[in-house]
Amino acid sequence: MSARTKARKRALDLLYAAEMRGMPVEQLLVVEAEKAAGEPERQASWLYAREIVDGIVDHRAEIDELITTHSRGWTLERMPAVDRALLRIGVWEIVYNDEVPDAVAIAEAVEAATVLSTDDSAGFVNGLLAAVAHAKA
């Protein structure tokens, strides 16, 4: 597993945990930063995970608006929490991170949805992120 794939998983874990606990993700970032400081082998994936989460925090309104705009018949609240987090990561990578090709951002989110969410989630995530990428172009 690549460092970026691990970072996406770590970012997903942080976003999901914050939502399930009803706490700001920034609080969890502090705890995770302390863990990463003590484990040098986690450093590469931690830096990108932090970049993802910080980017989502900084652009949350715009990211959620894009998700809402491109999700036909689904409100954010109706989506499974894992899907919301995956979509936020994918949209952030597509719109705000020029280092990651859109196809890679989409494929990584779809793979995670296949493993971690409902039977229909992979197709939903794929379609929504493809629409965001297409609209960006």
The pLDDT tens digits for 57-91 are 999 999 999 999 999 888 899 999 999 999 999 99
Using the structure block, give the residue that is written with the tokens 């952030």. 92
Domain, as residue range, for 54: 3-136
- According to the model, what pLDDT value does residue 33 have? 80
- According to the model, what pLDDT value does residue 74 have? 84
- According to the model, what pLDDT value does residue 32 have? 81
For residue 129, which amino acid is it?
Answer: L
In this structure, are residues 63 and 91 in contact, taking their beta carbons and an 8 Å threshold? yes
Q: For residue 32, what is the domain's CATH number?
A: 1.10.940.10
- According to the model, what pLDDT value does residue 29 have? 85
Q: What are phi and psi of 120, to 5 degrees?
A: -90, -10
pTM (two decimals) = 0.93
> Domains in the chain: how many in total?
1
Give residues with Cβ within 8 angstroms of 10, minimum separation 6.
32, 45, 46, 49
**Per-10-residue mean pLDDT, the chain, length 137:** 89 95 89 78 82 96 96 89 97 97 97 95 96 91
Q: How many angstroms separate the CA atoms of 20 and 34, rounded?
A: 21
